[in-house]
Chain A
């Protein structure tokens, strides 16, 4: 394997391994060879440099999933800048908050006019590159669009160090302020190298990119694929909502390796009419982000017998830290383990005082690995809580309660805080509750995760007084929340109660609220709100 040291060299590596004319990437509509992919990224880099971007600047990538979104990521890296992936489906306020926090100086986007002005209002963004639209001159600045990109020379490699920052991966914080995980070229490339080795990815593979750019699973297809010259299918946002369209695309493109949250796999298997499609090219299905209900996992493995399956665990702060392989479908309802330490990851299970727990007892998982982030962007307060220095190593406190089974495999038990996962996305329930309390007429709120047996996990908001809601799915309240929260953090239902159950200290008792409204965990995977 080629020993490059920084992520901006990846597309050159792929051209060397796979050949400039070999297909590199498609989104089902556009197809680029490795040479074209590298050149498009290089021209985007040149456009950014001409827009005033300098090495180390933060640059937002705000595009729906496509070959252009992938090329833009590599363009930002080629410019020596720090890539900040943005959720193209997020409300303007959420995107704006990330750009502000990152101090971004430029953005690669499809937005224009008023939409662009709203996204960048109050930020330090001055450079705008629009690879899918023509250039536009606006007072005070100008965009570089597809018409000008065509004539640009690809940028040469930047001068960057492996320990320089490469990308910021944002997640919602408990106060509603987004927090950015700052990854270096070294942490990203180490992950890419280990992932390619672990899942034996080579230039004959075709990887399906399911996750959006702002979700850490996408680092697999963004970085591990070019490292070994494997081609990528970027599944468009629209197709992902239609399991039958997804199944057809996976079959038509002869995908060999898949990585997603369990929900997407389950939806394709149960609602994707997969009997109409040959999915036999799939050799490895990786899932992570949240537990796979064992019955649903067994159904998926029986439906796609060609694929072995791995349960991947790892907060985005450390990329990946454990893996559990399944070669046969689970035969009972026991939760699937998260497995054992991944290559190069050191793990510890500790109690509240930092001491190792007794064998078999749950403890907070601490991870130390070269795939770990440098820290949170401009948040030394968060670093102080989340990162410990011991034994000459940096340890990330995951906040996950994990127990070791007698066979050495680790199992997920719960959280030490109120963070929950909805289809793999982290949600701090306090942030959603704070947004509800900002709405006139709501005096108290509790946010719960409903985990029905069907696998359609969603958030449920319970508010008081009851008069604050209209019916079981209060569209107005949901709309107001959707204006500020990322869509995965927007509850699907709102239930009104005149009084919310409280604990002895006067806090809203989420567990009791859940019992009162019949919302909880029907799957027994211990991931319900606590």
Chain B
């Protein structure tokens, strides 16, 4: 499966002007994040979708949240302030995407 980064190169504008390196389709990013959590973080066998509550299902514990934050920081080349790692932003993948799209330093479209 191609990564979101490969897809980004294909979505450079028709005029040839390069979009920011971090530009990435938010749906592809969401799928990639779900796949990462499913493969590397999730505990237990509860089904996992973008709108699944990660904590109340028991899928992700405190260590898992740290892994998720590190993955996002690495993927998008950003730093997430500890004060932003709150339940409203990280209770499910959909919340994370909404939060990240609202940041001015990421280019989730």
Contacts and interface: CB of A to CB of B under 8 A. Distances in A.
A248 B86 contact: yes
A273 interface: yes
Interface in A271-325: 271-273, 276
A244 interface: yes
Q: What band does the interface of chain B fall in when counting residues whose beta carbon is under 8 Å from A?
A: 20 to 34
A483 B44 contact: yes
B91 A479 contact: no
A248 B84 CA distance: 12
A477 B43 CA distance: 10
Given A241-B65, A242-B65, A487 B58 contact: yes
A196 B27 CA distance: 53
Contacts of A91: 44, 58
Nearest to B90: A242
Contacts of B81: 273
Contacts of A90: 58
Contacts of B1: none
Interface residues of A, number: 30
Contacts of A89: 56, 58
B65 A276 contact: no
A475 B39 contact: yes
B62 A475 contact: no
B55 A243 contact: no
A492 B55 contact: no
B42 A475 contact: yes
B63 A492 contact: yes
B45 interface: yes
B99 to A, nearest CB: 13
Contacts of B63: 456, 458, 492
Given A241-B61, A241-B62, 11 more contacts: A237-B56, A241-B55, A241-B87, A243-B85, A271-B82, A276-B83, A458-B63, A479-B43, A482-B44, A483-B45, A487-B58
Interface of A: 64, 89-91, 237-245, 248, 267, 271-273, 276, 456, 458, 473, 475, 478-479, 482-483, 487, 490, 492
